[in-house]
Structure 1
C-alpha cells in the first residue's frame, strides 16, 4: 500500500491511496472461505458448495467491502498522523472510482480531497481590545415595568366613551364595498394626526379614515389580518364602533404582588419595587453577558489568522446534507457557518495551549442551571428541585449522547472566555438600557 499527500494550496490537498493485490487478497480469500462454510446454496448441502461457485457469487461484493474497510482504516490513520487539523470529511473523487473494473482489476488507486488548517497561533495579550457592557438600572425602567405589570394584570372594562390606548371593536369597511371585516382596532397604533377622530366616540359611531395612512405600524399584526387582506387595505374606509374595550390598571396591593411573584414573596410596594428591579437586573445581566461574550469572540477572531478552505467546505456541506439543502442555500448560510467554525477552532486551540478542560462536574452544574431557568420561567422551580438529578440524567442521556457533548463544548467555551478576559484589554462601560438596545440592533 502507498499513501501520498499532495498539498494543492494553503488549506486544501488530495490524498492518493494505491493498493496492490497483496494488500487485500488474503482478507478477501479468508472472507470467501468463511462464506463457503456458512452459505446455503441451492443444490448443495450447507457449507458444501465449491469455493469456485462461492467466489463467483460473492467474490466481487466481498472484494468491494474489504477494500472499503482498508481504505477507511488507512485514511483515518494517515489523517491522525498529520500535524494539521482536518475539516469536514475527506471527499472521494467519484468519477475516478466509477471507472474501476472490480472483476478483472488487480491494482487500485483512490483519490480523496481534504480541507484543513495548519496550526493556529494565538497571542492572548493587551493588544486585543474588547468592551464589556453593564446596564444601568434607573428608576424610570423599574417604573415602566411596574406599569406594564399593572396593565397586564388589570381588568377589562367597557366604557361609554373612548380614550387614548383603548381598543375599539367594530366593522371595518371599504367605502367602495371591496372589503369588510369585524376586528379590534388598538388606538395606541393610530397616528397622532388621526387619533383625535377616535377619541371621545361612543358605541354606534362611524369614523371615516385611511388605514394605510392612519395606522403607524404594520397593518397585518396591528389588525390581525393576513398579508392577502393587507393588499386590499387601500383608500378610504369606515369603522363602525360596536364596543369600547379598556384595561384598567391593577392596584399596587397584595393581590397583584401575589399574582406576579407568588403568595407572600413580597409584602409591600417597596419590596415589590425592589424585587422587580432585581429581576430586571438579572435578565439584563444575562443579555449583556451573551452580548459581551460575542464581542470578545469577535475580537479574538479578528486578531487570529485562520484561513478556511471555503471551496472544499461548501462542497462538503452540500454532499453531507445531500437532498436537504441546495447549492444556493449553502452559499447563503456559509458566512454564519464559517464564523462559528473559526471560533470553534480558536477556542479549541486556546484550550489546548492552556490546558483548559471541561470537567464532568462542570457539565452537571451547567445542566442544573439550565433546567432551573426553564422551571423558573414556568413557576415550578422550587417544586422540581427534589427531582433535579433525574432531570439532569434524562437530559444528558438524550439525543444519543449529543446533549452531553454539546454541554461539554459549551462549558469549555465558557472557561476559554473567562481565561481570555483576564489576558486581553477589556474596557468596562456602564450604559443605559436604551443605549444597550441600540448596541443590540447594530
Structure 2
C-alpha cells in the first residue's frame, strides 16, 4: 500500500492511496472461506459448497467490502499521524475510469481534505478586552414598575378616549382601497397624530395621511407588515369601533403577590428593591453574554484561523445529501465558519491549559437551564422534587446529543472564564440605552 499527501494550498490537500493485491487478497480469501463454511447453496449441503463457487457468487461484493474497510482504516490512521487538524470529512475524488472489480489487481483512490495547520491564540496581558456591566438606574426601575402596573391592571372600555388608550377600529386607505381591522396603540405614535385620537368616541371617523406614521410605527403601533404599510400609502380614514384602556394596578399586596408570588414582598419599599434586584440579575446575564461574544470576536481576530472555505462548502453540500442547495450553503456559511472557528479556538485553549468539562458541571448547568424555564412559567418551586428526572430525560434526548451540546457549552464557559482571568480586561459600566446601541452595531 502506498499513501501520499499533496498539499495544494495552505489548508487543502489531496491524499492518494494505492492498493495492490497483497494488501487486500488475504482478507478477501479468509472471508470467502468463512462464507463457504456457512453458505446454503442449492445442490450442496450447508457449508459444503466449493470455495470457487462461493467466490463466483460473493467474490466481487466481498472484494468491494474489504477494500472499503482497508481504505477507511488506512485513511483514518494516516490522518491521525498528521500534525494538522482535519476539518469535515475526506471527500472521495470521482474517477472517470470504471473499476473492473473482476480483473483489476491494483486500485488507485484519491481524497480531498481541508485542514488548519495550527491554531495560535496570543493570550496574555497584552491582549485587551472589555467587561461590560449594565447599570440599573432609578429611571429604569420606575419605567418597569409602570409597565408592571399597566400589565396587571383592569381593562375597561370608556366612552371617550384618552392619551395612552388602544383604539380598535377599521383602517381604510382611500387611494388603494386597502383595509384592515386593527388596534392602534396611541402611546406608540407621534403626539401630534395621537391628538387626533384623543377625546373621541365610538363611531368617530379620524382622517390623516400615511406620512403621519413613522416607518417603525406601522408595526409597533398598528401591527402591520411592510407590505401592508406600502398598500396604505396616501390619505387614510380610521373608523373607531371600540376604546380599550388598562387602568394601572394599585401598589398593594395583591399587586405584589401577582408579580412576585404570595408573601415574597410585603411593602412598597421591598417591592421596589425586588424589582431592581430582578432587573439587575437579568441584565447581569445579558451583559455577561455580550462580554463573552465580544471576547470571542477578539480571540477569533487574534487567532487568524485560515479555514478551507471552498472545501468546507463542498463538504457541507455532499454531507447533507441534497438536503441543502449551494445557494443555502453560501448564505449560511459565514455563521457556520464563525462557529467552527470558535470551536477550534476553544478546543485549543482547553487543551493547552488543561481545561476540562466535568460530568458534575454538565448536571449543574442543565439544572440551571431547566429551573429558568420553569421559573418563567411560574412552576419553578413545584418542579424541584422532580428536577433529577427532568435533567436525566433532557440529557438523554436526541440520542445523547443534548449531553454533548451541554458538555461543549460548559467547556466554552470555562474557557471564557480562563480568558477573562488571563487577559487585560477593563470593566465598563453602561446604561441600558448604551447597551441597546451596542447591540445594534
Contact residue 212 and residue 233 of structure 1 kept, 8 A? no
Q: How does 1:235-254 map to 2 (within 5 A)?
A: 235-254=234-253
The count of residues paired between Structure 1 and Structure 2 equals: 441
Q: Distance in 2 between matches of 1:10 and 1:406?
A: 31
Q: Structure 1 pair 437/183, CA: closer, same or farther in 2 (3 Å)?
A: closer
Give the CA deviation at 1:222: 4.0
Which residues in structure 2 correspond to 1:35-434 (within 5 Å)?
35-96=35-96, 99-175=98-174, 178-211=177-210, 213-214=212-213, 217-219=216-218, 222-224=221-223, 229-434=228-433
Moved more, 377-386 or 423-432: 377-386
Q: Is the 8 A contact 1:189 1:216 kept in 2?
A: no
**Is 1:205–1:241's contact at 8 Å kept on the other side of the alignment?**
yes
Deviation at 1:369, TM superposition (A): 1.3
Unaligned stretches of 5+ residues in structure 2: none
Q: CA deviation at 1:255?
A: 0.7
2:300 & 2:176 partners in 1: Cα distance?
60
Q: 1:299 to 1:386 in 2, by over 3 A?
A: same
- CA distance, structure 2, for counterparts of residue 415 and residue 178 of structure 1: 59
Task: Measure how far apart 1:5 and its partner are.
Answer: 1.5
State the TM-score, normalized to the length of structure 1: 0.94
Cα distance change on mapping 1:174 and 1:134 into 2, 3 Å: closer
Call closer, same or farther: CA 1:130–1:84 in 2, change over 3 Å: same
Change (3 A) 1:177 1:299: closer
Contact between 1:191 and 1:216, CA under 8 Å: does it hold in 2?
no
3-state DSSP of counterpart to 2:241 = strand
* Gapped regions of structure 1 (runs ≥ 5): none
Q: Provide the rounded CA distance (Å) in 2 between the counterparts of 1:189 and 1:264.
A: 35
Q: Contact (CA 8 Å) 1:189, 1:215: kept in 2 or not?
A: no
Alignment check: 8 A CA contact 2:186 2:221 kept: no
Kept after mapping to 2: 8 A contact 1:132/1:292: yes
Q: Which residue of 1 aligns with 2:434?
A: 435
Aligned counterparts of 2:428 and 2:215: Cα–Cα separation in 1: 35
Q: Alpha carbons of 1:201 and 1:342: their partners in 2 closer, same or farther (altered >3 Å)?
A: same
What is the aligned-residue RMSD (CA, Å)?
A: 1.9
Does the 8 A contact of 1:153 with 1:256 survive in 2? Answer: yes
CA–CA separation in structure 2 for the residues paired with 1:139 and 1:436: 17
User: Over residues 239-270 of structure 1, what are the superposed CA-to-partner deviations in whole Å (9 max), with x where a residue is unaligned?
Assistant: 22222111111111111111111111111111
Q: 1:225 to 1:214 in 2, by over 3 A?
A: closer
